[in-house]
Structure 1
Amino acid sequence: MDNNLVYKWFSALLCYPEAELIAALPEFQAALNNHELLAEQRDGLQGFLNYLGEGSLRELQENYVATFDRNRHHALYIFEHVYGEDRDRGSAMVDLLEEYRKYGFELGDDELPDYLPALLEFFAHIPAENAQKLLGDAVHVIDHIAKKLAQSQSPYAVLLNAVVALSPVAPQPLIEPPVRDMDEAMETFGPDFSGTEPLLKPSIETVQFYPKGSFQTVREGATS
């Protein structure tokens, strides 16, 4: 596994656990044993592989759903933690989609570009320096989610902490976006395809990967 494909390793482990993932644990173990970029985080990551290997598939799946689908503080959608339900989230999605397309990648109809496993998979297939720059942009949010997971004593916290350790940029504290009242959100954005939740619509304003003022501390040297 080359240095860039370490992102693929994390991407797969952050996905919903299926039987194929459990069957591939020996391959994940071999990568952990041999890859230098994982060495400093080896003890914690070994604990996570042990967690996958010791639980039943049903238990692993139930815990995954409880962790990521039923707790918005743990959501693996990067922009959820930056914009909440603000309309600028849609514009940021468009910008990020353009990053994918710049390298010839298209997402499926049911995939969002800010989903962390998808983003890490993307990093594995682009030049290392570009992956590092994008990780440096996202690391503040990844670290924020990692801290929330650690507070809940989730075994997934070690994965996100290890991703943070790969970043060339030190993470800064993130200001959580306000939770918009659902009735107001429905009026502003309209329902989603199920008719129950807001569907965010892009505004015409161009938004960078993360908006100004999202961080409590101004990061230096992270953007050109």
Structure 2
Amino acid sequence: MQTLKVLGALLTYPDEGVLAALDEMEQVLLEENRLPPSQRDALRRLIADFRNADPFDVQETYVALFDRTRSLSLHLFEHIHGESRDRGQAMVDLSEMYAARGLVIDAKELPDYLPMFLEFLSMIPEDEALDLLSETAHVIAALADRLKGRESGYHAVLAALQTLAGDPTAQLAAVVTPAEEGDPDESWQEAEVTFGGGAALAGCPAARETLGRM
């Protein structure tokens, strides 16, 4: 599903390559038509904001949100394992799952980076991709809620992922509690995510390569 690839691209650092691909991203969203009109329109508004703003301002906003705010980290396992040893093994398991399906990442890249995970999901059969995405629903829902509270346009991307992942309400109520800004680990650390019956789930070059193949 190319919509997943587009959502991942919108969550990558908005460098020149990302900004140059905005028209193509918008076209994919329209052609695949996998999201409700209201969410598709919200994504188009975000894309329009990217087009109309100074690129430096777009990049500065991204860094302030996702690089400097720990509770908005796009690294999934940071919200689940924190800095525990379990995170390392989960990374290994996720990398192996990627490699088994043809996505080989650089040793410097972290496999739990959400845009990379979405790139992987766009490569596999849709039913399987949505099943795996649903296993991250509680983290996605929490990120969406935090971005909505900040009135950030990026909320549109996480809201779209929520829709594709299914209703996470039951999981969310069980595992997410209000957290101090910048330190979500305690509220999510027990909410373990495993993929495919036991396999685990910084800006990344693989995501940039995605834009070239879109």
Q: Above 0.5 in TM-score?
A: yes
**Compared CA separation, residues 169 and 96, structure 1 to 2 (3 A):** farther
1:1-224 alignment runs, 5 A limit: 4-40=1-37, 41-168=39-166, 170-171=168-169, 172-173=171-172, 174-175=175-176, 176-178=184-186, 213-214=190-191
**Greater per-residue helix proportion:** 2
**Compared CA separation, residues 67 and 76, structure 1 to 2 (3 A):** same
Identity across the alignment (%): 38
Cα distance per residue 1:23-77 (max 9 Å; x no partner): 2222222223332203431221122112111111111111111110100011000
- 163-172 or 73-82: which moved more? 163-172
2:34 aligned counterpart, secondary structure:
helix
- 41-50 or 27-36: which moved more? 27-36
CA distance in 2, matches of 1:130, 1:141: 19
Shift of 1:86: 2.0
Cα distance per residue 1:116-166 (max 9 Å; x no partner): 000000001112122112101112111111111111222111101101111
Structure 1: stretches of 5+ with no match in the other structure: 180-209, 216-221
1:90 aligned counterpart, secondary structure:
helix
TM-score with structure 2 length normalisation? Answer: 0.78
- Which structure has more relative contact order (CA 8 Å, sep 6+)? It is 2
Structure 2: stretches of 5+ with no match in the other structure: 177-183, 199-214
Shift of 1:108: 0.8
TM-score with structure 1 length normalisation? Answer: 0.74
Q: Which has the larger radius of gyration?
A: 1
Aligned to 2:209: none
1:108 aligned counterpart, secondary structure:
coil
| Pairwise CA RMSD | 2.3
Shift of 1:169: 5.2
Aligned to 1:194: none
